[in-house]
Amino acid sequence: MGVEIERKFLVCGDRWRKLAKGTEYRQGYLPSSDLTVVRIRKMGQAAVLTIKGRTTGVTRQEYEYTIPKADADEMLNTLCRQPLIEKTRYQVQHEGTLWEIDEFEGDNRGLIVAEVELEREDQTISLPDWIGREVSDDSRYFNVNLASNPYKNWKS
């Protein structure tokens, strides 16, 4: 069984940028049940279909499969709910841990979130100085929810 254990944080400042290399992402979500999320994602020249279960704490089931890029384009354009999620994902190593930083565009412009995948929920990690408030428990920051309630619509 595939499992994802992930914590999310807001990002403070730009100090992380000099350490990062980015890849453009475009992703959308197929209509699904309350039990699952089905995502189509293009990142650079690759494309995947991902099925995620319900989140409990910071853990959920996750299954991911490579799909043809042309199929991903067609599904994103015709089957996925709009608007799509557009972002650049940067990867930064910090004290042996890989951080993924998503800088959103489109309807979510202005939002920058860092994620770290863990081997277990109680794993201790060192937080970089550019990490802000943790938002792992705030479902507004889940990409699937950003697609239906974009950051531009949030009240300060």
Catalytic residue among 25, 29, 90, 141: 29
Asked about 65 being catalytic, the answer comes back as no
The 3-state DSSP class for residue 87 equals: strand
Residue 95 structure tokens: 């004290």
Alpha helices in 9-98 (DSSP H): 69-78
| Strand pairing category for 131-134 and 46-53 | unpaired
- What is d(CA 20, CA 69) in angstroms, rounded to the nearest whole number? 25
Residues with active-site annotation? 29
